[in-house]
């Protein structure tokens, strides 16, 4: 944690801390001293440092000093982490020095796993240091005694701030901090972040509106050593699982002392883990770790890792944030790295000290991913970083925030509005929009609402608002947060009939496609599905021929736009291809020969028949927002031209459209014509599955509906109904409703606006290379294999169904009816 430096800089550390440092042979680093000075001046600070720099303890050092110098009762420091697991890890790391120093400082965690009696006690008698998550903090703020609990608060530490800032959960966190400021105005904010491209944006995010915190950067002294993994196996054209490389991965694991094998999805974790054990001749202790495993399972792995009993862990992003696992000397990234910052974070898990280079190997899942991997390696070599664009705060969280405040005590809208403005992402929120969200929170705020007798908040005689019932309060507390997940079922590993251990969770839709006897991979073993009982999937361990792999909807990560650009450059610069594996170069040569390589300043379009339909691949390299908007525009025009589009899918490089009809060059050029469809396109977008998806999320976060944890009672399923139906009804009957606005704004995070879309099309004029092919091109394979297609409702699907319709007897039946009706009218 702390560096072994002999000439210790002069700082006024309390004697206990000095002794402890000396006993370890450690000295405090410059930036740790800096953090102490900042704290003495009560200045909020963002510390940006590479992984392995001992950031987290730097954040706590001022707290430890203050608590040693002036012991106190009550809450001094609140630590917020994006991961539950991180809070437990930090607790261990803090308790060690506290016990060694023999000082009286209490440290506790509070997460969804904390038992309720302990949670109650924590509110009455909080520890000095409380380690928690954004959701648990918001929940704490919903109690009437919050002001009392936080009355001594001095410091709030936000760990891994970079991972929170660019998303809804980050918006949510800033609102919680704004609320804390209303309860206890002068606390200090400390942000801890891995290296980011634009620290100033993060500093603004961390501070109250208009008051960015100070930034302190720690330079990255040693560059990590990152290479493509050497392999003689055939790298596949498509797919992301990378099972082809398992023998090589095993070789690397067996040569390293301790390694982490990062994969991109939970399904991939299961598959790679299983494949490794199939060839584990040396019987190496290899474990698996991902977020769907039960707490016990994860703790077991964490403990064994801590004791050095494990050689390698196959893990997902659940492990990439700051958990300290000691002596990892190799990181393998299996599958595309997706982003430079993310890759660096993962790589930083190895050689967890500042002075030695981390070592990492990249294992691309397919040949296209080899391009991404090489681009990422080049970016690291040249100190380039991707960064997330700044965005305005998500509006669906506001109703949740209003409820949260009202539950803690009666509120007036103006007070809450002022608090919301204190959070940087909401600094520009118009009063009018806030009031619409306020009215939504009260009773739905519908224009034609003839039925608003039932309110969530009711006005008291003094003009303040309070929850209408206990049920409202309870439901709000059960649904706090911004993470909307698919329905989950617990997995029970059976020993005997109906008795066994819960080993984790799988998504409901996966569970429902299982029939008794089916096998699936979970928690690193093959299970035979038996039944679903009491919200549990019951399964026996056993062997199966082709076990299924549970997939998780939330599993896919988009590539950073920075990396997409880097890949486009790499393609345009063939002299750099020498660093690619031979097979990948051969694949590119084949592509050049069969079709073409996308060129800078050109839009390459491939069109070919594939799997009983026609595919159009448009290589834009413009990023997902542009590709999504373009997909909607082009399919809309295809629908108009009766080309019968069926679906489209976007990826980081372009988009792929599936249609029934063949498209010729003239038609293709007309699809890109830069005239605007205006309202027509707006309407098409509003009815798209993407907007409905956004609405589903908005509906749950804003409290319109709740995450249905009971949908698993199958026979009741017809009673629940999808938010799509509400969306359609609302659009038709109340088109100006605030939630529709919120949905649109939400979707705009994933979508280019019309003006920029038009600009894009104008730039494309005269630059389109249309290539008709007899079959799928080598480069297109990984893209068309992507199953996440956006369905287009319209003539294409209708044509498919019409074709399948049983018309045989229709004529004779019609004749019969005609005759019958004629006789009846006689």
Reading the block at residue 139, the tokens are 């929940």
Q: Shortest gap between Cβ of 471 and other proteins (angstroms)?
A: 6
Q: Shortest gap between Cβ of 714 and other proteins (angstroms)?
A: 7
* DSSP letter assigned to residue 792: -
Q: Shortest gap between Cβ of 486 and other proteins (angstroms)?
A: 16
Q: Shortest gap between Cβ of 785 and other proteins (angstroms)?
A: 12
- 102-138 in b/e form (b: 16+ CB < 10 A) is ebebbbbbbbeebeeeeeeebeeebbbbbbbbbbbbb
Q: Shortest gap between Cβ of 804 and other proteins (angstroms)?
A: 5
* DSSP letter assigned to residue 110: E
Of 665 and 713, which has the nearer Cβ to other proteins?
A: 713
- Judge whether 180 and 157 are in contact, CB under 8 Å: no
Of 186 and 736, which has the nearer Cβ to other proteins?
A: 736
Instruction: Find the helix or strand (DSSP H, E) in which 214 lies.
Output: strand 214-217
Of 343 and 660, which has the nearer Cβ to other proteins?
A: 660
Of 70 and 804, which has the nearer Cβ to other proteins?
A: 804
- Judge whether 523 and 503 are in contact, CB under 8 Å: yes
- Judge whether 160 and 133 are in contact, CB under 8 Å: no
Q: Shortest gap between Cβ of 447 and other proteins (angstroms)?
A: 10
Q: Measure Cα distances from 267 to 245, 516, 551, 552, 697 in Å.
A: 16, 21, 5, 7, 24
Q: Measure Cα distances from 240 to 10, 334, 335 in Å.
A: 53, 9, 6
Of 592 and 716, which has the nearer Cβ to other proteins?
A: 716
Q: Shortest gap between Cβ of 399 and other proteins (angstroms)?
A: 8
Of 324 and 458, which has the nearer Cβ to other proteins?
A: 458
**Separation CA 19–CA 314 (nearest Å):** 39
Q: Shortest gap between Cβ of 309 and other proteins (angstroms)?
A: 46
Partnered with residue 603 across adjacent β-strands are 768
Of 20 and 438, which has the nearer Cβ to other proteins?
A: 438
- Judge whether 291 and 86 are in contact, CB under 8 Å: no
Evaluated on CA atoms 360, 365, 367, 371, the torsion sign reads negative
Q: What strands lie across the sheet with 330-334, from one edge to the other?
A: 225-228, 359-363, 330-334, 259-262, 312-315, 286-289
Of 8 and 791, which has the nearer Cβ to other proteins?
A: 791
Sites of contact with other proteins (CB under 8 A):
440-446, 448-451, 453-454, 456, 468-469, 471-472, 475, 611-613, 646-647, 658, 703-706, 714-715, 717-722, 725-726, 728-730, 732-734, 737, 791, 793-794, 797-798, 800-807, 809-810, 813-814, 816-818, 820-822
**Separation CA 326–CA 312 (nearest Å):** 12
Q: Shortest gap between Cβ of 444 and other proteins (angstroms)?
A: 4
- Judge whether 128 and 150 are in contact, CB under 8 Å: no
Of 249 and 730, which has the nearer Cβ to other proteins?
A: 730
Residue with the two structure tokens 């302990």: 118
**Separation CA 312–CA 284 (nearest Å):** 8
Partnered with residue 363 across adjacent β-strands are 334
Q: Shortest gap between Cβ of 411 and other proteins (angstroms)?
A: 17
Of 355 and 706, which has the nearer Cβ to other proteins?
A: 706
Q: Shortest gap between Cβ of 304 and other proteins (angstroms)?
A: 42
Instruction: Find the helix or strand (DSSP H, E) in which 724 lies.
Output: helix 723-733
Of 251 and 797, which has the nearer Cβ to other proteins?
A: 797
Of 392 and 443, which has the nearer Cβ to other proteins?
A: 443
Phi, psi of 328 (to 5 degrees): -80, 125
Q: Shortest gap between Cβ of 331 and other proteins (angstroms)?
A: 38
Phi, psi of 605 (to 5 degrees): -125, 125
HEC-encoded secondary structure of 44-106: CEEEECCCCCCHHHHHHHHHHHHHHHCCCCCCCEEEECCCHHHHHHHHHHHHHHHHHHCCCCC
């Amino acid at each position: 944690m702390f560096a072994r430096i002999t000439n210790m800089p002069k700082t006024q550390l309390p004697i206990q801390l000095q002794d402890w440092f000396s006993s370890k042979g450690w000295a405090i680093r410059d930036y740790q001293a800096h953090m102490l000075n900042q704290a003495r001046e009560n200045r909020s600070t963002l510390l940006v440092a590479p992984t392995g720099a001992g950031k987290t303890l730097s954040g706590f050092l001022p707290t430890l000093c203050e608590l040693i110098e002036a012991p106190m009762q009550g809450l001094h420091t609140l630590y917020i982490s994006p991961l539950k697991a991180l809070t437990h890890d930090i607790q261990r790391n803090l308790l060690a020095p506290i016990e060694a120093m023999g000082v009286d400082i209490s440290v506790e965690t509070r997460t969804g796993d904390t038992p309720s009696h302990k949670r109650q006690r924590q509110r009455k008698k909080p520890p000095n240091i409380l380690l928690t998550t954004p959701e648990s903090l918001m929940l704490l703020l919903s109690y009437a005694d919050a002001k009392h609990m936080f009355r001594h608060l001095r410091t709030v530490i936000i760990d891994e701030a970079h991972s929170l800032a660019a998303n809804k959960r980050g918006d949510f966190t800033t609102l919680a901090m704004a609320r804390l400021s209303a309860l206890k105005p002068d606390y200090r904010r400390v942000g801890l972040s891995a290296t980011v491209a634009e620290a100033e944006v993060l500093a603004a995010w961390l501070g109250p509106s208009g008051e960015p915190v100070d930034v302190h950067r720690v330079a990255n002294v040693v560059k990590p050593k990152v290479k493509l993994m050497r392999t003689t196996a055939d790298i596949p054209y498509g797919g992301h699982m990378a099972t082809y490389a398992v023998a090589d991965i095993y070789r690397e694991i067996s040569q390293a002392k301790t390694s982490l094998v990062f994969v991109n999805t939970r399904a991939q974790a299961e598959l790679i883990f299983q494949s490794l054990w199939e060839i584990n001749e040396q019987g190496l202790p290899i474990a698996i770790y991902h977020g769907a495993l039960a707490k016990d399972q994860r703790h077991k792995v964490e403990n064994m890792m801590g004791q050095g009993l494990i050689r390698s862990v196959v893990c997902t992003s659940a492990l990439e944030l700051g958990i300290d696992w000691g002596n990892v000397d190799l990181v393998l990234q299996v599958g595309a790295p997706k982003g430079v910052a993310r890759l660096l974070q993962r790589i930083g898990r190895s050689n967890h000290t500042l002075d030695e280079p981390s070592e990492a190997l990249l294992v691309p899942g397919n040949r296209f991913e080899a391009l991404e991997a090489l681009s990422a390696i080049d970016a690291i070599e040249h100190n380039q970083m991707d960064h997330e664009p700044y965005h305005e705060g998500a509006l669906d969280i506001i109703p949740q925030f209003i409820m949260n405040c009202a539950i803690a005590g009666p509120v007036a809208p103006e007070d809450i509005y002022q608090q919301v403005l204190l959070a940087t992402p909401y600094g520009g929120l118009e009063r009018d929009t806030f009031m619409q969200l306020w009215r939504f929170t009260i009773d739905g705020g519908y224009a034609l609402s003839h039925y608003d007798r039932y309110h969530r908040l009711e006005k008291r005689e003094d003009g303040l608002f309070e929850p209408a019932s206990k049920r409202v309060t309870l439901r709000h507390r059960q649904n706090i947060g911004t993470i909307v997940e698919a329905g989950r079922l617990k997995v029970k590993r059976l020993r005997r009939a109906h008795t066994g251990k819960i080993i984790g969770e799988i998504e409901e839709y996966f569970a429902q496609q299982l029939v008794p006897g089916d096998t699936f991979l979970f928690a690193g073993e093959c299970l035979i599905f038996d039944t679903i009982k009491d919200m549990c999937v019951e399964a026996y361990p056993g062997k199966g021929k082709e076990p299924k792999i549970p997939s998780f909807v939330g599993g896919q990560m988009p590539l950073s736009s920075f990396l997409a650009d880097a890949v486009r450059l790499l393609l345009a610069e063939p002299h750099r291809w020498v660093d690619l594996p031979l097979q990948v170069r051969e694949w590119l040569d084949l592509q050049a020969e069969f079709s073409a390589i996308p060129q800078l300043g050109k839009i390459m379009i491939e069109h070919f028949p594939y799997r009983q339909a026609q595919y159009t691949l448009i290589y834009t390299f413009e990023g997902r927002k542009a590709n999504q908007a373009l997909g909607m525009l082009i399919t809309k025009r295809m629908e108009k031209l009766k080309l019968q589009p069926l679906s489209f899918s976007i990826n980081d490089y372009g988009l792929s459209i599936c249609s029934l009809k063949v498209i010729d060059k003239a038609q293709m050029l007309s699809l890109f014509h830069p005239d605007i469809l205006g309202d027509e396109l707006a309407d098409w977008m509003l009815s798209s599955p993407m907007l409905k998806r956004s609405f589903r999320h908005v509906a749950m976060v804003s409290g319109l509906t709740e995450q249905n944890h009971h949908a698993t009672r199958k026979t009741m399923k017809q009673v629940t109904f999808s938010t799509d139906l509400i969306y359609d009804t609302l659009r038709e009957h109340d088109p100006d409703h605030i939630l529709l606005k919120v949905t649109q704004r939400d979707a705009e995070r994933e979508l280019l606006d019309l003006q920029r879309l038009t600009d894009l099309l104008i730039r494309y004029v005269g630059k389109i290379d249309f290539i008709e092919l007899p079959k799928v091109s080598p480069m297109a394979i990984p893209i068309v294999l992507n199953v996440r297609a956006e369905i287009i409702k319209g003539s294409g699907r209708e044509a498919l169904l019409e074709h399948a319709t049983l018309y045989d007897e229709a004529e004779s039946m019609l004749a019969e009816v005609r005759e019958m009706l004629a006789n009846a009218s006689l």
